[in-house]
Amino acid sequence: MEGQTMRFALLVASIFTVAAAIVTREMREREFFRHLEAIDVDGITNNQRLVDKYIKCLLKTGKCDPAMKDLRISLPLILEHMCETRCSERERTNLRKLFMYIRTNRPLEWDRLSKLYDPKGTYKPRVDAFVENRPRISTTTQLPTINRSTTILPSPR
């Protein structure tokens, strides 16, 4: 009986640990987007010292300020949904500007970031569509098919 109680306690502790990790990651993501709503993206991208600092943070080769640490921790979750439902228009625009800037002006760092946060390239089509502001066909959406065996007869007059 004592062994079963111990196993149950470990199971409950494990479930709470996993749930806390998920909640913490989503809270950090929300906190990052709160910062993203208010930042001056153009001011950041015009300051190479800041750009270098932020890229080093994301590559895990430099120190992070709290907002960038939130981004680094929540980036996998952000890549998973790419602002489809959780972002305001301003957040979406600012994130798109940041990604576009790095992809266009710092392609080597963009490749390193891609390999670090999306090593299998799972999110690449979604990220590309987001950055280029193109609509994305959902992987769960099926396109309609045409049944070629159906004959369409002219309507009687």
Q: Distance between the two ends of the chain, CA-based, in angstroms?
A: 84
Looking at residue 2, its pLDDT comes to 67
Q: Residue 62 contacts by C-beta under 8 Å, 6 or more apart in sequence?
A: 53, 56
Looking at residue 82, its pLDDT comes to 80
Best CATH choice for the domain 11-131 from the list 3.30.360.10, 1.10.1660.10, 2.160.10.10, 1.10.2080.10:
1.10.2080.10
| Three-state secondary structure call for residue 98 | helix
Looking at residue 52, its pLDDT comes to 94
* Structure tokens, 83: 């602002």
Sequence spans of domains, the chain = 11-131
Is-above-0.85 flag for pTM? Answer: no
Per-residue pLDDT of the chain (157 residues; tens, 9 = 90+): 566 666 655 555 555 555 444 446 566 666 666 767 777 889 989 999 999 999 999 999 999 988 788 778 878 878 887 877 777 888 888 889 999 999 999 999 999 999 999 999 999 999 999 999 887 655 444 444 444 444 445 555 5
Looking at residue 110, its pLDDT comes to 95
Looking at residue 143, its pLDDT comes to 42
Looking at residue 142, its pLDDT comes to 42
Cα gap 8→144, rounded to integer Å? 49
